[in-house]
Amino acid sequence: MYADMNGGDILVKITVSGPPGSGTSTLVERLAEENSWSSLNGGDIFRNEAKNRDLTVGQFSDLCKNNLDVDKSLDNKLKNELNNPHGSEIIESRLSGWWAYLMKIDCIRVWVNVSSEECARRIQNREGGSFEEQLILSQQRQIDDKERYRILYDIDLDDMSPYSLIINADDISAEEVFSIVQSRIKG
């Protein structure tokens, strides 16, 4: 189930999505290494745009919440990359699976699902702070993002119908998540 050829070039083969702290970046790094594929991380686009504007990630996030056109411009960069015949084989972002689905791109669309508590634990391990702080911040970010995507695109992040592979990763290791996805790729 790979993207069809487009003028002799292969489009994106897999999208990886999930909430912050779900392990999508770890999964993408491993898939790219194992398959010798290139990848694009939507978070990197976000962080680069914040840097270009001399803003912290938090400040840029606030700007996006208050100016939806900025958010749309970042999403348009991802959509363009999905259609780029010379682009990355793996694209990771919260909405990359939705974009591929809506754009009718034939690729594997993965959602890595974890509970709010597991997201908070993973973010705490990565960034520090207390579990309670990270849980509150993570839950609020999820609420804010769901509302923003509903307003911008009429997308319900709780709707899993665009995804061809949903992995519940609360109780499995990053290696097990990778093995599930790699089996699907080789399938």
Rounded to two decimals, the pTM is: 0.88
Within a domain: residue 182? no
User: What's the CATH code of the domain at 90?
Assistant: 3.40.50.300
Residue 176 lies in a domain: no
Quick one: pLDDT band at residue 10, thresholds 50, 70, 90? low
pLDDT at residue 1 tops 60: no
Tell me what pLDDT residue 141 has: 83
With respect to residue 134, please indicate whether it lies within any of the assigned structural domains.
no
Instruction: Report residue 29 as tokens.
Output: 């790094």
Residue 107 maps to a domain: yes
Structure confidence at residue 8 (pLDDT): 44
Q: Quick check: 109 pLDDT over 80?
A: yes
Residue 20 structural domain: 5-113+160-168
20-39 pLDDT, tens digit per residue, is 889 999 999 999 999 999 99
Tell me, yes or no, whether 54 lies in a domain. Answer: yes
Residue 7 confidence (pLDDT): 46
In a domain, 154, yes or no: no
Is 103 a domain residue?
A: yes
Q: Kindly state the average pLDDT of the residues 77-103.
A: 93
Count of structural domains within the chain: 1
Decide if 37 is inside a domain: yes
Query: What is the full DSSP assignment across 64-82?
Result: HHH-HHHHHHHHHHHHHHH
Integer Cα distance of 158 and 61 in angstroms: 21
